């Protein structure tokens, strides 16, 4: 529970791995300074990779290709079922194919600005540099990017930019990129460099002499608890948006692997920075267990509007143009419907709060393609968005070729995650964190089409360089049997505790209640009073969980109720840290909107004097306040200004 002193303040934190000098030379400098592992020694090094999405799949494939021995784990039955496969709209790269003024520096600047100046310059510039190589890599793998009539790769625009830099494969970009990484991965499995363990969930980290040396996993089919050791561990386990219960994430997405690492000393950075996506199918009732994303790419041609008059429930075709409010175009004329996600989401929420929302409960705005149908023709619209239109019609029963889509914001992505340095290493030596599981590249708001870019940059290009430097410098040591035994005992104790409660409520019951608390008080708009309320409700709910949860069955066989309960238990702990982080950050930045910190016209008001830092939290034990470590953010190239899209 939050008291007057909900956290302790620790020593400042610094990223000691990022080189100095001109920003355009820093990654080149780091790669040259990194020590190398010779081929003969690589065969003697074992690396564990947890997760098989874009970050984990590309990392394992590349490390295997380099000659390391890789042990890879995922809780799905196939790497192809990682949540990365659900990404729709595209992947950014500064290749300037449209000759519209794009460049590495412009992508860097757009990303820093889009993140509301809460990201590191060095990391973001490296991401922009590497982006150009990712496209070449994926084309060589056979990824079927959309092409123009003459055969050149096509581009489209995404929110927060005024150039077309997003490469795409209709609305299936994540699927096609993941299949490319999967093919590269399975080539290494066949070659014997990667040993793949599907249907295994990481439940603890093995620490020996303060260094990450392995993981404890549970075989989700047999229930067996097994330990695996290595020279380094890589977490590529995605984000924690499912803490809200209703989100666009896959049902299995969770925080367990990262949270168990946090309990061993891996700092958790900026947990309150969560992204609300403006283009989702609105909820239709209490029966839902997840929400469905409609790609941001639809806002290239779809116009967002609501009726001028509150309570106007006429069919959209009966509302004349003069009685419609194209509110994004009105408020943000320079970017229009392609403002960044946090801006568009709050604007949609505001018009719905005014009583001008459409659909059941007034929780929706129109995304209308009538103008595009007239300008481009139905066949051209179909060529760009057919699978998205089909998905929408199957879910809602409405034909978007004839009537506007109805959309509403929903939780989508988490910019917070385990703290890592420039080398992607956490505060636990030997533990590397890549993709959405770390915090490093997006600041307080991720621009669309940047998640796939970061995952593949980390996996294909950054980690294989930096982890080699770590392995070349690390001293090989035997792992004490006591360290392995202690980790296994922790896992067994948690499972036994969950099974022994024998209460009267399912884990889903508590997850749904937690999601309601987090959405209500730590969602799109946050207030001090609401956060303090959440700080009382979350610990109480966690206590009730441990006294009333019912987990049927045993731990020695397939038990999906046990899987769910363990993940919900970790969400309950993370929720308290998220609330503390949101309460301490008394400013608005990107997806973190504090109602007390806004401009006269309702826009987010940053406080650069007091909050231009990464908040990295240290775990001190169950029930104890965490310790806050601040990493100061310095801006030499993208100087903080008022974030305007007008």
Q: What is the DSSP-derived secondary structure letter of residue 598?
A: B
DSSP 165: -
Q: How far apart are CA 142 and CA 160, in angstroms?
A: 29
Residue 297 CA to residue 417 CA, distance in Å, equals 26
Reduced to 3 states (helix: H, G, I; strand: E, B; else coil), residue 213 is strand
Map 74-128 to HEC letters: CCCCCHHHCHHHHCCCCEECCCCCCCCCCCHHHHHHHHHHHCCCCCCHHHHHHHH
**Contact of 220 with 200, CB cutoff 8 Å:** yes
Beta-bridge partners for 194: 70
Q: DSSP for 39-72? A: HHHHTT-EEEEE--SHHHHHHHHHHHHHT-EEEE
Catalytic residue among 213, 341, 446, 594: 341
**Strand, helix or coil for residue 518:** helix
Neighbouring residues of 155: CB distance < 8 A, sequence distance ≥ 6:
97, 98, 164, 165, 166, 167, 168
Nearest in space to 414 (alpha carbons), one of 626, 247, 611, 265: 247
Alpha helices, DSSP H, located in 404-480 = 451-456, 463-473
Edge-to-edge strands of the sheet including 324-325?
Answer: 274-280, 405-414, 365-368, 303-307, 324-325
The residue assigned the tokens 């949609």 is 348
Beta carbons within 10 angstroms of residue 11's beta carbon: 9
> Does residue 375 have an active-site annotation?
no
Bridge partners (DSSP) listed for residue 525:
none
Burial of 275 (0-12, 13-18, 19+ CB in 10 A): buried
Greatest C-alpha distance within the chain: 75
Residues labelled as active-site residues: 341
């Amino acid at each position: 529970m939050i008291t007057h002193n909900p956290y302790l303040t620790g020593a400042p934190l610094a990223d000691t791995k990022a080189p100095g000098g001109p920003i355009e030379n820093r990654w080149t400098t780091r790669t040259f300074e990194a020590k190398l592992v010779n081929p003969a020694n690589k065969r003697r090094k074992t690396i564990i990779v947890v997760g098989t999405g874009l970050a984990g799949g590309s990392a394992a494939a590349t490390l295997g290709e380099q000659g390391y021995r890789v042990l890879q784990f995922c809780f799905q039955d196939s790497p192809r079922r990682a949540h990365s496969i659900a990404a729709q709209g595209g992947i950014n790269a500064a290749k300037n194919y449209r000759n519209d003024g794009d460049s590495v520096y412009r992508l860097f600047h757009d990303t820093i600005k889009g993140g509301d100046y809460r990201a590191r310059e060095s990391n973001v510039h490296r991401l922009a540099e590497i982006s150009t190589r990712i496209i070449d890599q994926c084309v060589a793998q056979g990824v079927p990017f959309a092409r123009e009539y003459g055969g050149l790769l096509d581009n489209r625009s995404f929110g927060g930019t005024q150039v077309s830099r997003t490469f795409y494969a209709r609305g299936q970009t994540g699927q096609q990129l993941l299949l490319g990484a999967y093919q590269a991965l399975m080539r290494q499995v066949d070659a014997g460099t990667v040993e793949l363990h599907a249907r295994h969930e990481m439940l603890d980290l093995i620490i020996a002499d303060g260094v990450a040396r392995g993981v404890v996993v549970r075989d989700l089919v047999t229930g067996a608890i097994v330990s695996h050791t290595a020279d380094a561990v890589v977490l590529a386990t995605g984000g924690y948006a499912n803490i809200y219960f209703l989100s666009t994430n896959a049902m299995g997405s969770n925080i367990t692997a990262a949270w168990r690492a946090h309990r061993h000393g891996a700092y958790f950075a900026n947990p309150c920075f969560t992204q609300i996506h403006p283009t989702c199918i609105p909820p239709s009732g209490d029966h839902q267990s997840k929400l469905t994303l409609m790609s941001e790419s639809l806002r290239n041609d779809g116009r967002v509007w609501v009726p001028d008059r509150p309570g106007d429930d006429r069919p959209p075709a009966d509302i004349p143009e003069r009685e419609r409010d194209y509110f994004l175009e009105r408020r943000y004329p320079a970017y229009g419907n392609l403002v960044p996600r946090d801006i568009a989401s709050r604007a949609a929420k505001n018009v719905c709060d005014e009583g001008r929302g459409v659909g059941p409960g007034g929780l929706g705005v129109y995304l209308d393609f009538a103008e595009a149908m007239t300008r481009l023709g139905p066949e051209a619209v179909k060529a760009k968005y057919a699978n998205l239109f089909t998905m929408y019609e199957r879910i809602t029963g409405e034909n978007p070729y004839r009537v506007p889509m109805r959309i509403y914001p929903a939780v989508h992505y988490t910019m917070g995650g385990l703290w890592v340095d420039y080398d992607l290493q956490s505060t636990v030596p030997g533990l590397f964190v890549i993709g959405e599981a770390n915090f490093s590249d997006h600041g307080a708001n991720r621009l669309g089409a940047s998640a796939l870019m970061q995952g593949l940059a980390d996996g294909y290009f950054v980690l294989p360089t930096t982890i080699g430097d770590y392995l070349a410098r690390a001293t090989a040591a035997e792992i004490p049997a006591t360290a392995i035994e202690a980790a296994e005992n922790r896992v067994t104790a948690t499972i036994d505790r969950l099974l022994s409660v024998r209460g009267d409520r399912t884990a889903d019951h508590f997850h749904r209640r937690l999601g309601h608390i987090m959405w209500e008080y730590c969602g799109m708009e946050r207030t001090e009073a609401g956060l303090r309320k959440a700080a009382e409700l979350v610990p109480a709910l966690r206590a009730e969980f441990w006294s009333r949860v019912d987990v049927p069955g045993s731990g020695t066989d397939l038990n999906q109720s046990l899987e769910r309960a363990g993940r919900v238990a970790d969400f309950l702990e993370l929720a308290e840290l998220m609330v503390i982080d949101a309460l301490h950050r008394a400013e608005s930045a990107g997806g973190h909107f504090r109602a007390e910190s806004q401009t006269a016209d309702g826009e987010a008001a940053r406080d650069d004097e007091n909050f231009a830092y990464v908040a990295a939290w240290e775990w001190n034990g169950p029930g104890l306040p965490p310790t806050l470590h601040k990493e100061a953010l310095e801006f030499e190239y993208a100087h903080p200004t008022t974030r305007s899209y007008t």
